[in-house]
Amino acid sequence: MIDYNSYLDDAIAMARAAGDIHLDFFRSSRLNIETKLNDSDVVTIADKESEKLIVSVITEKYPEHGIITEESSPLHEEREWRWIIDPLDGTTNFSQGLPNFCVSIALEHKGEAVVGVVYAPYLGELFHAIKGKGAFFNGKKIICGNKTILSESVVATGMPYDKLDNPDNNLQEICKVAPKVRGIRRLGSAALDLSYVAAGFLDGYWELNLKRWDISAGMLIVKEAGAAVVSIRENRNFSIMAVSRGIEDQLLSLLKIQ
């Protein structure tokens, strides 16, 4: 049996160091905001500095591992061990001065996440999981919510960056779900949304066209907390629903599956 604890310790140390970088730039005039795909897709200097730090630690300590990270080309992504990094998830929030943002770090072995860390530095929230060992929020074990009635549930979602050009942009699904739930939220960080389902702060979450770095750590955390994770599109990158099992069928029935 491989002991993943030292990898977890490293992932947490990297996440905390990256979080310090986020906080150094947060609400400052030094953000250097640039757009990527379109005006909805932004990157700041904090995304880049956070990534630089994490990649330098991994390449120094684990030169035999691969890395997939949002703001740079992958490094040896075919390797048996690889790290999946979102150096700053929730950049739109971050760039506006809104506190819902985090760093997400996962370690995959043979394509499967075995360690996941999501750290929101401004909120002081750290989620982690090791495959088969449960999920934790600031060191305490968490399990997902146990609601069984959709109208009593609070769920989150997001809209894809190609929302203007692609009609499969989640608007229809939002219109169907919003009247049927207690509340619907757009919190702006996929990694935190998944972690919040894990902790029972949200009862469900779905989103289309996510990338591997948005969800790798969060999906391990939410699965280890006992939630169901379902793919809701075949050919739209990662399109997923993560939900407490008691409302899985009710929420799924409102989301188009392709």
Contacts to Ca ion by CB under 5 A: 70, 86, 88-89, 214
Radius of gyration for the alpha carbons in the chain, expressed in angstroms and rounded? 17
Residue 48 or 245: which CB sits closer to Ca ion? 48
Amino acid identity for residue 2 in this structure: I
Q: Which is nearer to Ca ion, 208 or 247 (CB)?
A: 208
Q: In which element (H, E) is residue 205 found?
A: strand 204-210
Question: CB under 8 Å, gap of 24 or more: what pairs does 30-38 form?
Answer: 31/94, 31/95, 33/95, 37/161, 37/162, 38/161, 38/162, 38/164
Closer to ligand IPD by CB, 144 or 190: give it. 190
Residue from 19, 116, 145, 188 binding ligand IPD (CB under 6 A): 188
The distance of closest approach from Cβ of residue 188 to ligand IPD in the complex, given in angstroms and rounded to an integer, is 5
Q: By C-beta, is 151 or 166 nearer to ligand IPD?
A: 166
Distances (CA, A) of 248 to 132, 227, 228, 252, 255: 22, 9, 7, 6, 11
Give me the amino acid identity at 129: A
> E strand or H helix at 253, and its extent?
none
Site string for ligand IPD, 195-224 (x = CB under 6 A): ------------x--x---x----------
Task: Look up residue 144 and give its DSSP letter.
Answer: -
Strand order, beta sheet including 183-185:
183-185, 154-157, 204-210, 238-243, 228-231
Choose from Ca ion, ligand IPD, none: what does 210 bind? Cβ within 5-8 Å by kind: ligand IPD
d(CA 56, CA 59): 5
Dihedral angle sign, alpha carbons of residues 17, 20, 22, 24: negative
**Does residue 189 interact with ligand IPD by CB under 6 A?**
yes
- Smallest distance, Å, CB 72 to Ca ion? 12
Pick 89 or 224: Cβ nearer Ca ion: 89
- For position 89 contacting ligand IPD by CB under 6 A, the verdict is yes
Q: What six digits make up the tokens of 197?
A: 């389902």
Shortest Cβ distance from residue 27 to ligand IPD (Å)? 17
Site mask, ligand IPD, residues 226-255, x = CB under 6 A?
Answer: ------------------------------
Contacts with ligand IPD, 91-110, as mask; x by CB under 6 A: xx------------------
Residue 90 binds which of Ca ion, ligand IPD, none (CB < 5-8 A, kind-dependent):
ligand IPD
Size of the chain, expressed as the number of residues it contains: 258
Residues that bind ligand IPD (CB under 6 A): 86, 89-92, 158, 160, 188-190, 207, 210, 214
